Amino acid sequence: MEMGEKQAYNTSRLEASIQMLEGQIPRAPAGWRRLLRRLIVQLRAVAGPTRSNSFILGGLSEEGQKVGFLVSEPEDRVLVGILRKTEAASKNTCSNCARPGKTHEVGGEPLILCPRCYAPHLLRQQLALWIEKDLTHKHESIVMRSDLPPVIEPIVRADRWRTFKPGLSAPPVEYITPGDLQELRADFDKVYAHVSALI
């Protein structure tokens, strides 16, 4: 094989890999599409006739929740460097909106999400736990306002809170009875359904 033919073959293998990665963009999470488009541009910039005999495997995982690559020629530092930077960026980029993010467990699956995109998942999770643990069982004790999770407290209407003074010089303490919370079950269920619909 002549040198020119070999170089054309190498380039075509790399170009085939680039096209494969490009085909993954439509099914990529919205927050990672820009990341993958930038990767394509960077790879095409180095895919000249002097490129080594490398091809790329991987990209977006089948579930669309992870970005990872394998290179046939790991000594090709240029390609390896570009791919490593993309992998590292994906681990710190919200897969939903492209803001800075980190790994969170959502429904038993790891997702890279920013605080804003993770918030509905967290609220839904806390509501589910609260409804299951505290609204399905009647307790004899009172529930202190300070013991309620911050995301739950705003759902309780102002007229449901009661107060008592633990001492002459102590400030009043707010509480709600488990019975009152049980009566608010429908309100909690509505918020839970609404939050679930947003995710």
Task: Give the Cα separation of 90 and 111 in Å (integer).
Answer: 11
Asked if 162 and 176 touch (Cβ cutoff 8 Å), the reply is yes
Q: What is the mean pLDDT of residues 162-177?
A: 82
Can you list the alpha helix ranges (DSSP code H) found in the chain? Answer: 3-22, 30-46, 77-90, 115-130, 178-183, 185-198
Q: What is the mean pLDDT of residues 127-143?
A: 62
Task: Give residue 140's pLDDT.
Answer: 52
Cβ neighbour number for residue 42 with a 10 Å cutoff: 18
Task: Give residue 40's pLDDT.
Answer: 94
Task: Give residue 51's pLDDT.
Answer: 67
Global pTM exceeds 0.85? no
Q: What is the mean pLDDT of residues 60-77?
A: 82
Asked if 20 and 39 touch (Cβ cutoff 8 Å), the reply is no
Asked if 29 and 112 touch (Cβ cutoff 8 Å), the reply is no
Q: What is the mean pLDDT of residues 20-27?
A: 92
User: Looking at beta carbons, which pairs linking 83-92 to residues 24 or more positions away fall under 8 Å?
Assistant: 83/39, 83/56, 86/35, 86/36, 86/38, 86/39, 89/35, 90/32, 90/35, 90/66
- The helices-and-strands tally (H runs, E runs) of the chain is 6, 7
pLDDT band of residue 30 (cuts 50, 70, 90) is very high
Tokens of 134: 């505290």
